[in-house]
Amino acid sequence: MFKHKGAHQYTWYQDTLGQRSMINLVVMSSDLRPHVLDTRVKKGAELSTNHHLVVSWIRLRRRMPDRLGRPKHIVRVCWERLADPSVGGVFNSHLRESFNQIPREVGDIESEWTMFSSSIVDAAIRSCGRKVPVVAAIPEHSGGHWK
């Protein structure tokens, strides 16, 4: 569908045998398909695997909410610290500890997903720390022609 070099198409590789394949895909609903701008593979995003990250760019035309007062303070997890083996080991131990605290049978899938995802984020915050990203100007406030 999108024409790219082979390095940006193959999602799996095995160096010892010289094999590679396009086995990872992006699945989306048909109503979003016209909004997909590009899909490609990002090398270097793998963590101890032989798979690459598949990324899609999607253009959504939604009106940005008007935010009165101070801008929202955004804090993110420093995921890039997981590349350090010692931080990865600490993250794995925190993750095991968090998963052991989740009850085996929660009931509905939504509450189970909430507990699962919050366990991952909590373990990441404890092992990787947080950061405040640099936020680019919001187009509505920068005086662009797309107001």
Mean pLDDT over 116-129 rounds to 87
What is the pLDDT at residue 16? Answer: 67
CA-closest candidate to residue 132, choices 76, 71, 54: 76
Q: What is the DSSP letter of 90?
A: H
| Lowest-confidence segment of 38-42, 45-49, 81-85 by average pLDDT | 45-49
Whether 21 has a pLDDT exceeding 80, the answer reads: no
Task: Specify the pTM.
Answer: 0.41
Mean pLDDT of 125-132: 86
Q: Does residue 147 carry a pLDDT above 50?
A: no
Taking CB atoms within 8 Å and a gap of at least 24, the contacts of 75-80 are: 75/130, 75/131, 75/132, 76/130, 76/131, 76/132, 76/133, 77/121, 77/124, 77/125, 77/128, 77/129, 77/130, 77/131, 78/128, 78/129, 78/130, 78/131, 79/124, 79/128
* Mean pLDDT on 82-104: 86
Tell me how far the alpha carbon of residue 95 is from its chain's centroid.
18
Q: Is the pLDDT of residue 2 over 80?
A: no
Asked if 109 and 103 touch (Cβ cutoff 8 Å), the reply is no
* Residue that wins the pLDDT comparison between 7 and 29: 29
Q: What percent of the chain has pLDDT over 70?
A: 56
